[in-house]
A and B are shown apart, each in its own frame.
Chain A
Amino acid sequence: MTSHRYVRHALLSVVLLLASPLWAASGTMLRDDQLRTAASATAAVTAQVPRGANVEVLARQGGWTQIRVGGRTGWVRMLSVRATESTQRDVGGELAGVIGLGTRQADPSRVVSVAGVRGLNEQDLKAARFDAQELERLDRYVVGRAEALAYAREGGLAARTLDYLPAPAQASRQSNPWEEPQW
């Protein structure tokens, strides 16, 4: 009977959560950005979201995060908003996929405090003795160029050309980050 009630309670919670689009992690805007109708810089802009605004974080897709702010829902750049709580601390462990935050799996190690486990600090490092056997073991896992290329191909990965990013001090010399970038 108790377990029956528990199941019913759990089901109700799931239904409520699914029905409630309001469930979301909260977040803060790190910079001004534009709210867009889709996860793309070419999508229509529906609003301006100022730095410091509190938003709800709904989902992520590539370099874009879906947020809700002031009753509007839309997309901003992933790096424009910082979730102020874990987007992965999902209720029930299975709902993350439903609300679009990816296939996060419940991992007890995240919430259970780890007491008395093996840490690694500067004292441990300074006191450590050189371990030749472990180094030899490490050597055994080394992967050659050809193997790495094959494994990438297997995963559908293809190399792309992309320049390194300049340090922000240089980047901030641009008058307005939303204008055409200058180089």
Chain B
Amino acid sequence: MVRKSLVLVLALSAVSLFAQASNVERALRDLLLGRQPAPAQDNKSAGQEKPAPAAMATPPQQAPAAQPERRPRTADLLGGLLSFVAEPPQTLEEERNIGRTVAGGLLGAAPLVRDDRLQRYVNLVGRWVALQSERPDLDWHFGVIDSEDINAFAMPGGYVFVTKGLYRQLNSEGELAGVLGHEIGHVIRKHHLRMMQQTRALADLGAVVGRRMEGGSAIASNFMGNFWEAFARGLDKDAEYEADRIGMVLAARAGYDAYGLPTVLQEIGHVSASDSRVAFLFRTHPHPDDRFAKLSEAVGNRLDGLPEGKTLSDRFYRIR
């Protein structure tokens, strides 16, 4: 027991040393780039969530209010410390540049579906869902890309893509809202920036941040290569589960059926694992059945008091 505590203390010390080093690195970078230290943004750590009351419906609001900052609980101290360490140091501008660089790369692999009404539609729905988050005014971009794969992608800075293959699986605007909500969850919790910090991509990050990379340079393509390598390994499972919980909540906040996302997960779970359309998705995410089960555990009876939302299946734009 004593030995366990000692190990924990040692681990914590190491972590806090690393935290200091990160701060030093950040301060150095600020100095080198000749700018003021970045102001704290709308960063919220995963550990700051709190249970929801059973009945949470309120009268309709005109503009959704940002969720108030919540104080971390004692039980989350360790988690809080770890997420502080992992807090990506990028400014908003840097985050945007990284997102744009990677989004441009993705579009190079799979262009947008040539359907203006479809693209406009996903932006209308996506922006409304994103408005329910604590980063309502990011430069949100949503797009449907021309691939039969069943997948969706989020990039730092507010870039969200759904493949045509996944879009075809959807049956209502509420389901679309849930899927986009999941991706928005990755963006607002900066999951990819955190992941990049832990990979080689960080080495090239310094070269990409703070300037606009149009992909021509060797550094940019090297960065993209590293990013995708990390991307192909997938995010931490917990990040996916967290994004699922956020997806349900954001869709519900937007007035949609909260159960659109689990409905989609259930359907995708029925696609055979040998189907090549889900190979990449299944490799980079927990199995949809596990994600459904985790949502089941997280929701329990917490949403019992939530009035039924809208599915808007009539308004859903069906792909040609």
Contact = CB atoms under 8 A, between A and B. Distances in A.
Interface of A: 30-31, 41, 60-63, 77-80, 82-83, 85-89, 102-105, 107, 109-110, 113-114, 117-122, 124-132, 134-135, 137-139, 141-145, 147-149, 151-152, 155-168, 170-172, 174, 177-178, 180-183
Q: Is the interface of A mostly helix, strand, loop or mixed?
A: loop
17 contacts: A31-B297, A62-B259, A77-B301, A79-B292, A80-B296, A104-B171, A125-B228, A129-B215, A132-B104, A135-B107, A152-B254, A155-B173, A155-B310, A160-B56, A163-B249, A168-B297, A183-B52
Contacts of A88: 171, 267
A109 B150 CA distance: 12
B300 interface: yes
Contacts, number: 303
Interface of B: 46, 49-54, 56-58, 60-65, 67, 75, 100-101, 103-112, 116, 119-120, 122-128, 131-132, 136-137, 139-143, 145-149, 151, 163, 165, 168-169, 171-173, 213-216, 220-221, 224-225, 228-229, 231-232, 238, 241-242, 245-246, 248-249, 252-259, 262-263, 266-267, 269-270, 275-277, 279-280, 289, 292-306, 308-313, 315, 318
Contact of B54 (A62, A125, A181): A181
Contact of A130 (B108, B128, B289, B292): B108
Given A62-B257, A107-B168, A171-B51, A118 B296 contact: no
Given A109-B168, A141-B143, A164-B245, A63 B108 contact: no
A16 to B, nearest CB: 25
Contact of B302 (A128, A135, A160, A165): A165
Return the 9 tightest CB-CB contacts between A and B, nearest first.
Answer: A130-B215, A158-B60, A122-B232, A157-B255, A128-B109, A62-B308, A134-B107, A168-B297, A163-B52
Task: Give the residue among A156, A163, A164 with the most B Cβ atoms within 10 A.
Answer: A164
